[in-house]
Amino acid sequence: MTTRRKQPKVAERLKVWVRSGGHCNIRHRYLLESDINFEFVRLGELAHIVAQADSENAPRGLSELPPEERDLAENLMLTCAHCHSDIDKESQAQQLDADLLRKLKERHETRIRRVAELAAREKTVVLRVVGRIRGASTEISALEAANAVNALLDRRPDMTLDPNRQGPEIDLRSLPGESEPIGSGYYDTACARIDEILTERLVPAVERGQVPHLSVFGLARLPLLVYFGSRLDDAISTEIFQRHRSTESWEWTADGADVRFGYRLRAAPSKDGLTEAVLIVNASGTVNPHQVPTELSGLAAFVIEPKDGEPNRDVIRTQRSRNSFHNTLSDLLGHIEANHKSITKLHLFAAAPVSAAIILGRSVGWGFHPELLVYDAVPDGYSLALEVQAP
């Protein structure tokens, strides 16, 4: 009567299968699918590196490895039936010894871990900012964001940094004072909420290495989008999405006209050594220069606007248009650094879409780039909403 060998414990067998990724450690064949009809079939076998039995008659049986450790995952390797039979042949004992098999096992399991880590790096964490705009509540659903990511990026949208698995969302819709934000403390409260969510959800995940890439969606008052952009870690690769007013879609169009942006100096400084200047952005609309506060009239004024055509609500429909705005802003800030080093503050008046507002915020703190004083449109002109400095 043949005595049936005892099987390693389930936990140890599971470790081997998981660490091997369901593949043979030697020939790397996938062991959970039939080659004949592609149905699910468990084809893998657990092979002992040092034999279970301490005997010269067992493959690699003579070893100092204690008997109680021979059924542990560290002494087991996942193989196909062909390789299992091959390594256990008596004629192979000298060449396919325990040291070689351990190296093959370690090499394969290391490869599986690296592939898994690569897949993790290919995800993108989805971050949404929603607020009320002129009294109207906005909404960016997790599904809309995921669809936009899937349509654009070769990455997997990750929503796991949130208890409800909807992705971290900065919700500014319930804050008091939005209808009359200037002087009501609304902007201070909203900025504190942005900092709170980023500190609690995003920053710890970044420190743990869980945010290899970020996908950003935002609908809120422009000064808050600028502030939000300034708080994003510029060391993280980030894709900024744009809602297109004509279609209400967040997906970048591939066939839209590319808009090129440029900048110009609208008003030269009245004296040298000015520490402040005005930055006007005419993108989704046009800022009326007569509505800029009179106390700023003596400052140098820089204007960013489309080179071709007029500002309009869908001026940034393509990634190339967004990138042109980004590059123009960088060029302007470089020009200020080279030619107007004394300027450390820019008074920002912007009619700009979501992506441009966030890009304006992200420019803060990149080397020399000056502080932004962001103004909000009010019935009789513009009023200072908030100041954005490098974190």
Per-residue pLDDT reduced to its tens digit, 205-217 = 999 988 989 999 9
String of DSSP letters for 291-303? GS-GGGTTSEEEE
Report whether pLDDT(368) > 60.
no
- Mean pLDDT estimate for the chain: 89
Confidence of residue 102 (pLDDT cuts 50, 70, 90): very high
Q: Rounded to an integer, what distance in angstroms lies between the CA atom of residue 355 and that of residue 348?
A: 16
β-pairing verdict for 76-79 and 345-351: unpaired
Contact, 382 vs 291, CB < 8 A? Answer: yes
Contact, 155 vs 149, CB < 8 A? Answer: yes
Contact, 252 vs 161, CB < 8 A? Answer: no
Report whether pLDDT(2) > 50.
no
Q: What is the pLDDT of residue 347?
A: 96
Residue 183: is it exposed, middle or buried by C-beta count within 10 angstroms (0-12/13-18/19+)?
Answer: exposed
Please report, for the chain, the start and end positions of each structural domain, with discontinuous segments joined by +: 10-119, 123-241, 258-391
**Higher model confidence: residue 148 or residue 136?**
148
String of DSSP letters for 125-148? EEEEEE-EETTEE----HHHHHHH
Report whether pLDDT(1) > 50.
no
Record: fold of 123-241 = Rossmann fold (3.40.50)
Per-residue pLDDT reduced to its tens digit, 172-221 = 998 888 778 887 889 999 999 999 999 999 999 999 988 989 999 999 99
Residue with tokens 């009294």: 135
Contact, 239 vs 153, CB < 8 A? Answer: yes
Report whether pLDDT(18) > 70.
yes
Give the chain's radius of gyration (CA, Å).
31
Q: Rounded to an integer, what distance in angstroms lies between the CA atom of residue 82 and that of residue 95?
A: 17
Q: What is the pLDDT of residue 179?
A: 77
Q: Single out the residue of 323, 288, 328 nearest to residue 307, CA to CA.
A: 328
Q: Rounded to an integer, what distance in angstroms lies between the CA atom of residue 141 and that of residue 160?
A: 15
Average pLDDT for 351-380: 87
Q: What is the pLDDT of residue 54?
A: 75
Read off the pTM. 0.70
